[in-house]
């Protein structure tokens, strides 16, 4: 079973503080997480804004990174395996200025399950693109403001 959202947020906060301070600085929060998807929110505040009062490119990248990677880490822990996780490539389309809090959604739970099975059975590194969509529900509903394709790279550790 995946961790509760509360436990996931504590894990994310500690990871940000001790491993990747830029994640902590942007203050992402996991809103939903289940076997198929994760939804991460980054608030639009002074620290995440650009000079146009929309979300800064770097903050958007942090949100995509967390949404794309956190589900993989949680699923690896669920099966009792440690994995090396990295992103090898990034493609992004910025469709509309995100002028409010942004939700990043990754719905690739099944793909991540397949990747984990493959790396655990083969011991080899597995690379697959995961898709993350960014929306600003408070101002534009479900309209996508940015879309990311991140090549997730997983390798099971002994």
Per residue in 38-91, pLDDT tens?
Answer: 999 999 999 999 999 999 999 999 999 999 999 999 999 999 999 999 999 999
The CATH code for residues 5-156 is 3.10.129.10
| Residue boundaries of the structural domains of the chain | 5-156
Per residue in 121-134, pLDDT tens?
Answer: 999 999 999 999 99
Per DSSP bridges, beta strands 83-94 and 144-156 are: antiparallel
State how far the Cα of 122 lies from the Cα of 126, in Å rounded to an integer.
Answer: 9
End-to-end CA distance of the chain: 22
pLDDT of residue 157: 93
Distances (CA, A) of 24 to 16, 21, 62, 148: 4, 5, 10, 21
Q: What is the pTM of this model?
A: 0.95
> What value does the mean pLDDT take over residues 124-146?
97
Q: Which residues contact 135 (CB under 8 A, 6 or more apart)?
A: 102, 103, 105, 141, 142, 143, 144, 145
Mean pLDDT, the chain, rounded, equals 96
State how far the Cα of 42 lies from the Cα of 25, in Å rounded to an integer.
Answer: 10
Confidence of residue 23 (pLDDT cuts 50, 70, 90): very high
pLDDT of residue 131: 98
């Amino acid at each position: 079973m995946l961790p509760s959202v509360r436990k996931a947020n504590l894990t994310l906060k500690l990871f940000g503080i001790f491993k990747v301070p830029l994640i902590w600085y942007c203050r992402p929060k996991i809103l939903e997480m289940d076997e198929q998807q994760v939804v991460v929110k980054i608030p639009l505040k002074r620290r995440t804004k650009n000079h146009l009062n929309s979300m800064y490119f770097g903050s958007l990248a942090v949100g995509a990174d967390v949404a794309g990677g956190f589900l993989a880490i949680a699923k690896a822990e669920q099966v009792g395996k440690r994995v090396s996780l990295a992103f090898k490539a990034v493609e992004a389309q910025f469709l509309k200025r995100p002028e409010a809090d942004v939700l990043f959604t990754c719905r690739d739970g099944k793909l991540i399950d397949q990747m984990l099975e493959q790396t655990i059975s083969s011991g080899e590194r597995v690379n697959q693109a995961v898709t993350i969509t960014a929306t600003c529900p408070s101002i534009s509903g479900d309209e996508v403001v940015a879309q990311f394709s991140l090549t997730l790279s997983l390798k099971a550790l002994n």
